């Protein structure tokens, strides 16, 4: 199995609890094909879906097709992740109570939000990195100060005012790093998923405010596509694909009307790729047009390790990085947050050394 075949196999396995046609196809493949389990483990761990893979294979009663040693390893990792997620949930509730006591209402997002609102049949399915939540702009600085008083600290306290979250904060004897957001999407898309919008459609679970399933679906896709520029590099992780698949089922009858053409394009091109690797689940609806077909074609070439396509993406990424720096400079003329950041950077000698590659190389570790 090459990488593309392995990726499609793992992705399809993630749907077998809910997609009968995929369940039948995977069972036939397990019975008739020699699966490269080393490649499957490598791909599923690299895409942060190893426990989700196990949970779906277990629910489908397919574990007897796997090597016994692999099953035992999957059980061990999944149990560890379940225990971690139980601690993540408890930590999130602790933070929620702390902030509510200070008249601040956080809205939990992404993996932690999904855990709190019961998206997964087994909480062990989701590998969670950080505890993400958003507070209103007026409560943002106070929230950070409250967490600091509770012994949370960031390795790098330098916060860029226009960034969408404060640097990761950790606390001794707490398992999860915390990311306090004051926005979800960077400019010029900030208002599309701002605190007010998320609050209007949020709901409570275990006394914690969580973003609606529909907004979680949008956050899952757009934060990576926009903030990290992954739309252009066509980088899609199966963890995000799995989340968006589950969330799409929850929101199949309630679709938010989207006017912004760029956001519509980002969503549509993502969904056509996700649908392709998941073998066309009905809940992931998209529009086929020339642009989406070209995007899918390029994505398939990339995961197929096309050297020509990878070189093209590398050039595009270099261009986007330059474009982002120019955009920050442009915004600094009209936006106080960007202007403050730009002036701070211009006064930093290290900034110039880095730009001209004059900073000292780091020793090999």
State the Cα–Cα distance between residues 154 and 350, nearest whole angstrom: 21
pLDDT of residue 86: 97
Helix runs in the chain, H state only: 3-13, 20-32, 37-46, 50-59, 68-101, 110-116, 140-149, 195-200, 213-222, 230-233, 238-250, 261-277, 290-303, 307-331, 336-346, 349-355
Looking at the structure, tell me whether residues 274 and 316 fall in a common domain. Answer: no
The per-residue pLDDT for range 267-296, each reduced to its tens digit, is 999 999 999 999 999 999 999 999 999 999
pLDDT of 225 above 70: yes
pLDDT of 338 above 60: no
Looking at the structure, tell me whether residues 283 and 155 fall in a common domain. Answer: yes
State the Cα–Cα distance between residues 127 and 294, nearest whole angstrom: 32
CB-based contact 250:213 (threshold 8 Å): yes
Last residue of a domain, one of 252, 279, 305: 305
pLDDT of 323 above 80: no
Q: Which two tokens stand for residue 56?
A: 């779906």
Candidates 128, 131, 123; CA nearest to 82 is 123
pLDDT of residue 112: 97
Looking at the structure, tell me whether residues 231 and 321 fall in a common domain. Answer: no
Confidence of residue 362 (pLDDT cuts 50, 70, 90): very low
pTM, two decimal places: 0.86
Candidates 54, 40, 14, 26; CA nearest to 284 is 14
Looking at the structure, tell me whether residues 78 and 135 fall in a common domain. Answer: yes
Percent of the chain with pLDDT over 70: 85
Handedness of CA 47, 48, 50, 56 (dihedral sign): negative
Answer with the residue of higher pLDDT: 323 or 48: 48
Looking at the structure, tell me whether residues 319 and 276 fall in a common domain. Answer: no
Last residue of a domain, one of 288, 305, 322: 305
Q: Is residue 280 part of a domain?
A: yes
Candidates 168, 222, 214; CA nearest to 190 is 222
**68-101 and 50-59 helices cross at what angle (nearest 10)?**
110
Our count of domains for the chain comes to: 2
Confidence of residue 30 (pLDDT cuts 50, 70, 90): very high
Q: Is residue 365 part of a domain?
A: no
* Three-state secondary structure call for residue 260: coil
Chain CA centroid to CA 167, Å = 17
pLDDT of residue 257: 80
Length of the chain: 365
Confidence of residue 259 (pLDDT cuts 50, 70, 90): confident
pLDDT of residue 353: 45
Q: What is the mean pLDDT of residues 230-243?
A: 93
Q: Is residue 329 part of a domain?
A: yes
Candidates 102, 171, 188; CA nearest to 142 is 102
Looking at the structure, tell me whether residues 165 and 181 fall in a common domain. Answer: yes
Q: Is residue 364 part of a domain?
A: no
Confidence of residue 159 (pLDDT cuts 50, 70, 90): low
Confidence of residue 349 (pLDDT cuts 50, 70, 90): very low
* Three-state secondary structure call for residue 23: helix
Looking at the structure, tell me whether residues 76 and 169 fall in a common domain. Answer: yes
Q: Write down the residue that tokens 């926009």 correspond to.
A: 226
Looking at the structure, tell me whether residues 41 and 113 fall in a common domain. Answer: yes
CB-based contact 284:53 (threshold 8 Å): no
Q: Which two tokens stand for residue 318?
A: 């270099």
Answer with the residue of higher pLDDT: 106 or 259: 106
Last residue of a domain, one of 280, 305, 330: 305
- Determine the structural domain holding residue 249 and report its residue range: 3-305
């Amino acid at each position: 199995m090459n990488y593309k075949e392995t990726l499609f196999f793992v992705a399809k396995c993630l749907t077998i609890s809910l997609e009968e046609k995929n369940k039948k196809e995977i069972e036939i493949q397990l019975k008739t094909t020699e699966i490269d389990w080393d490649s499957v483990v490598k791909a599923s761990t690299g895409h942060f879906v190893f426990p989700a893979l196990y949970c779906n294979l277990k629910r489908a009663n397919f574990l007897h097709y796997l090597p016994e040693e692999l099953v035992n390893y999957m059980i061990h990792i999944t149990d560890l992740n379940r225990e971690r997620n139980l601690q993540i949930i408890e930590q999130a509730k602790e933070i929620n109570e702390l902030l509510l006591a200070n008249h601040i209402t956080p809205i939990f997002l992404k993996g932690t939000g999904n855990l709190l609102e019961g998206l997964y049949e087994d909480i062990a399915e989701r590998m969670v990195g950080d505890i993400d939540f958003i507070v209103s702009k007026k409560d943002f600085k106070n929230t950070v100060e409250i967490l600091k008083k509770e012994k949370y600290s960031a390795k790098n306290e330098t916060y860029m005012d226009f960034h969408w979250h404060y640097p990761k904060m950790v606390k001794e004897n707490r398992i999860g790093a915390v990311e306090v957001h004051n926005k979800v999407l960077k400019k010029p898309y900030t208002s599309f998923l701002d605190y007010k919008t998320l609050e209007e459609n949020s709901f409570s679970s275990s006394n914690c405010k969580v973003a609606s399933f529909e907004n979680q679906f949008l956050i899952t896709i757009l934060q990576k596509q926009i903030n990290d520029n992954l739309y252009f590099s066509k980088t899609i992780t199966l963890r995000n694909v799995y989340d968006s698949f589950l969330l799409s089922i929850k929101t199949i009858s309630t679709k938010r009307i989207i006017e912004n053409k760029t956001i519509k394009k980002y969503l549509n091109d993502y969904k056509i790729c996700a649908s392709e690797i998941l073998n066309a689940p009905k809940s992931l609806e998209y529009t086929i047009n020339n642009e989406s077909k070209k995007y899918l074609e390029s994505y398939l070439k990339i995961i197929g390790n096309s050297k020509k396509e990878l070189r093209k993406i590398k050039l595009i990424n270099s261009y986007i990085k330059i474009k982002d720096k120019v955009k920050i400079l442009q915004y600094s003329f009209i936006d106080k947050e960007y202007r403050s950041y730009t002036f701070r950077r211009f006064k930093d000698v290290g900034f110039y050394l880095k730009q001209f590659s004059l900073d000292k190389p780091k020793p090999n570790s």
